[in-house]
Structure 1
Amino acid sequence: MPNDRNFKYKAFISYSHKDRIWSEWLHKKLENYHLPKALRKKRIEEGKDVGRLRPIFRDREELPAHENMTAKILEAVRSAEYLIVVCSPNSVASAMVNEEIREFRKLNGNTNILCLITEGEPGVFNSHSNLTLTEAEAIPENACFPAALFETAEFHKDLPTAASNPLAADARAEGDGKRNAYLKIAAGMLGVNLGELVRRDFVKRQRQISMALAVSVGISAAMGWLAWTAIKEGRRAEQQQMEAEEFADYFADILVDELPKTGREDLIQGVVDRLLSYYDGLDIKSADALYRKGLAFTRIAHILDSYDQYQDYRRIQQQAIDIAEKLVSKHPKNTDYLFLKAQSNGSMALAITWKGEPEQAVRYSQIEKEILHRLLEIDPKNQDWLRTLGVSYTVSGLAHLQNSENIKAAESDYRKALEIRLAASKLPDAHNWALNHLGAAYVNMSVVHSVKGPISKMVSYAKQSRDTFESNSEHDPNSVNAHFVTARSERNLGHAERFAGDLAAALEMYEASAKHLEDLLMERPNNSLWKHTLNLVVIAYAETLITDGRYEAAARLIDKYSASIASFYTGTDVKNYHIAAYYHANYLKALFAYDRGDANSAIRMLDDILANLDQDRSANILKAARISNVYSSAYLTYGQILAEQGQTASANTIWREAIEIFDQNLGAKRMDIKANVAQIFLMLEEYEKAQQIIDTLERDGYREVAYVRAVDREIRSGGISAPLGWRSPVSVVGK
């Protein structure tokens, strides 16, 4: 293969859309692969790169015919140094996979083609070489190698005269196994012997452990046996110690990448405990082994955090921080150790931010930022460091946002995150992450302006977020993640348009977001994140329909998704945002009941919402903006219904209770919550306090339609004065 070409991609992964899960797994594994330190050093001494396997292009959807292949995908095939084919009966039947193989072979011949066998029979491998095209198309159903691998110039003039004989890695349990298969692919791309990456006896142990993992119950026994054989008194030779350390690293990979798929929290906890005990038994002496332990502890802590085991998470994450500190104290210029210290502190900052400890989170985040700034002085274009620094500023911004006195600090950090991501997105070799993170930064700035105003900036940043994510979707049109974040940005823009008073634009965005998410769930109906996000979109959509007077349409929408919304609230891992969604939907159901003339049912439902939310007030649950919005809306509406039923004293009691809760640190709350508080003051005829909030909201451009109607009625009745520049609603639609 010519060596003077500049490749845009390290590899192109070709696969059938039915094998998408395999392609996603391989893509993640290869792009995150790091050569062992000794091999990296050897490559650098030989004048080679450090052996990073990125970027890798993954065409995620199969197009039906050659004529419909986009120029972008064709160019990606031509611009890749390697072609990796996910081989299965699905790829054999795929016209798209075969066409991508032909395109690569026309330019590169038979070199640099790697195969990952996931299903089917590889035994027919050598029998294709002399097949005619017709015979090749009649390959048995269980074959896994696409015919285009073996076609010659006899049938396609631009193809090589001889058939391909690619390196094949067998990911099946009876073959190399998943881990060894991807290592084999990595070895082929890096031009190193597989034996240098994985020792023969360690490969055998990996297969044994994979079998144990498949039946789950053998995990602890396998680890105990290996620990005994590797660390038994009197057998601490260097070779055995290295194997023990590699085993620990390998099992940490299994824990992070494979066990969560089982959904067995008890199994995961058991393996975590055994693995930590195993690490405690290791006599780790080398800095590199200690570094790998620190990485493993950070990953283990992430698993614990995802299962809401906060105390265990914090203990393990602190150990990772201590390991990193020890390494950096002895090797202060080692960038890997510095980056580990940054990452471990950053992970701690994020976790404790969500646990309501913003001051400590800011301190951990500050350590991370200081280290990353030092690293970027060494290599200003290092994308891993840039990405992490952007995340660090985002986390500290989130922590500041939880404190009413720190809204300016939150905006400052979010703005720095935006600047970093803008710069990263303009680098010539920027990955898709840069655009994704840039879009997320615009979302964060939009959130800041939902609190401090002006709403015009909230809308502007929300549009920039939507446009950025859409641009990324166009760059990678078949990326499910690109479509998901686009859907979320459309939802965020819907909120912004609602705050600005544009019902039509808000409804359009919610509808687009819901359509994106419904399409995604057709592909993966069990994706809980997508399902929950769709629930949130549906709730916002229905609430906007109510504002537009379309109660029946809103009720049908909530009824359709009611079971899905409730399933998250009654699940085993209930978060604040699940609670918010559940009670928000119930709040809308109370509005539907009242619209039907059933005031008693509406009152019972609102009373239930407030009673249940009251139980969680001691846990600072009101720090979640969505819950605060539901809570304040429920108080406002509950009092209004009681007042309309002639229960004025009870209504006033309800409203005053709400004021005690929400009039504290009001400046740090979202504008929709401020608007609810203003309306409650109006109901209580405390016009001066209401006027102050209303004047501020008007100055900031908050024009949510239901709020504007309520304020306009008070202005017309003479209760308050019209704020400067006040515009009455053009028409009053609905209730």
Structure 2
Amino acid sequence: MSFACNENNKIKQHIYKDTTKVESLQYKAFISYSHKNAKWAHWLHNALESYKIHKHLIGEKTEAGVIPDKLSPVFLDRAELASATDLGAMLTQSLEHSWCQIVICSPTSANSHWVNEEILTFKRLGREARIFSLIVAGEPYASATKTPELECFPPALRYQLDNNGNLSDKPAEPIAADVRKGKDGKNNALIKIIAGMLGVGFDVLKQRELQRRHRRLAWLTASAMTGMVVALGLAINAYLARNEANKQRIRAEVEAETANRTANFMVSLFAVSDPSEARGNTITAREILDQGAKRIETELTEQPIVQTTLMHTIGEVYTALGLYNRAQDLLSQTVSQRQSLFHQTKVTGEELADSQGALAKVNTELADFDNAVTLYQHAIDLLNQSNAENQQLQGDLLAGLAEVFFRMGRYEDAGPLLQEVVTLRTQTFGSPSLEVADSIQQLGLNYYDRGDMQQAESHLLQSLEMVKGLVGSEPHPTLAENIGNLAFLNHVNMQFDEAEAQYIQALEMYRTLLGDAHPTVAGAYANLAFLYNDFGKYSEAKTMYQQTIETLRQVYGPSHPKIAKIMNNYAYLYHDIGEQEQALAIIGQTVSMAQKELGDNHTDLARYLSTQARWLAEAGEYSEAVPLQRRALEIKLETLPPGHTDIATSQLDLAEALAGIGEYKEASALATDSLNSLIESVGEEHWYVAAAQLALANTLLGENNTHDAEALLLKSYDHLQRSPAVPNVYIEKALNRLILLYSQTGQQSEKAKYQQLLTNLSAEPG
């Protein structure tokens, strides 16, 4: 029906109390815009329809209704309504069937008769509270100033309706997000609108967005910081403690012989007859460990109990040092041999379970999650079947399995395990105790992963209070860890001042306890770097990254794999803020360090090479990029399982570089393989797939197959546009290639269209 009708009809529409539910309406939103703001309307449409609502919000009841599982469909497309006297049946019906209305606000929309009519129509449906504004240009309420031409709000937004459904002179207060320079920025503006549509607070959704980033960063920090310099004396102490436990389980004569031979063996590791054989002037703990591991495998084959005990001990030391591949070799042998000894009743189920857990921990660090889960589950079952009363080991195994589930994103599965860990450690150590406090803290972090901020904060505070009651307020490593985790929670909650103060407090505690040269201190600096980076304090972030690297160099010397990991993140900071030359310089240093420390066949090296080559290609240095990408792909094919996403992305990167030097046939084959693999591994909706389509289209362009290239480019560009999180560099690539395509085909109007979109993209904030 039309709204160009009599006043009585308007009154009925206005006094009608809207009781419609979101699930009963066809559209989640109706976007009102003027023709000149079509770019922003299409961006918003794609962003809303592709937005993934967090599963913990779906079904929640708010003032706006029950939160749906998605925000599509959104009504957008409409033709300009030339001289019609009303909106027309189609638009009126679409408005009636829309849960919300979003108005793109600019001086042109403020002067658009039809945008104003759409707002009036929606208000007369009784849905004024569900109108949201996106300011893209101009100034709100400028009509009352000396520059009325800058007004961005249409009259129907600026004023309320009277009882007759007409505009009154009573000012309204539109709910607005603002993408203008220096305001919200695109991402925050989008989150504001979605928060309003769903009836949740802005902070709730912002936390979800930051969770995706911060838990990744938290894992990255843990990955970079894993392992410390472990004094060999500590390794021996760990071994002796383990040996003491063995004495209670193995026959006295066997254990005495084992202890004697083991002690002799450990002492003999220090008996280096020729110090010149060491790589430096001093013999390092790593050299002693490597020598010991080699001797264990060759000299103790006739003493399998001693051999497996030592393998297990040194395997755990390798794990603590972050030397996961070497640890995996030793612990795999340990598990295999202890399984045989277990069947011969020469070792207990508890000992076998302990080794399975140690190997599972290494597999977790190597991202071999499926095998880690299997090992942990076997170890837990074996411990239960053995009727061993080792609650400490049981708790450690459950905590380890929970960590794997966290790495896999299976937060719901990790929760019950951590609840059980709290119970076991309470029974084992009593409450209060530092062990119980730690398990409560881990459970709090799991609540965070599951989106329950209230429970997360409650558990972290409970853990902190327990620790304070045990150790006081003086510097203590467990207290510092608790404060750091609360800082992390405030970080995610966008409480910058609180997070900064707590991160600094934790850092100062660690420095007091551990000195300036310690990996944990470096990790505290890295946390501050992430905080400053997230809040746009790039100068401070640079300083903290530099301090992190300097601290790690004090610990490990000038070169170490963990330094390389942090340098990789540091390089990305420069790349993200547009300082490409500095980013390339740092990633080049990272590659050199990785080659020295990890050798020529390590997955981390391959990843750094891929990054370096990708940035060289972005700078047009394709001939330099190609050999680096080839080597990166070779390493990944040798070190990663078939079908791994990293292999597909390397194929994609190599295809882009090859196309840059005109090798279109090989590039096309690689891009096709990458596309098929990514569809299978991450699904067709992931933007990686669009990036692979973009690379394949580039090879078609190079072969002058403009027909197929056009179809694929348009499909890729549309896909990339639908993802608010996609890096702009890929959208820019798509636009540049569409411009090239239409230059080749002489379609000047299409070329101009995408040239303007590229100009607009470069001018957009955020």
Classify the TM-score, shorter chain.
Answer: 0.3 to 0.5
Tell which has more relative contact order, 1 or 2 (C-alpha 8 A, sep 6+).
Answer: 2
Q: What TM-score, normalized by structure 1, do the two folds share?
A: 0.47
Q: What TM-score, normalized by structure 2, do the two folds share?
A: 0.45
Largest Rg, 1 or 2? 2
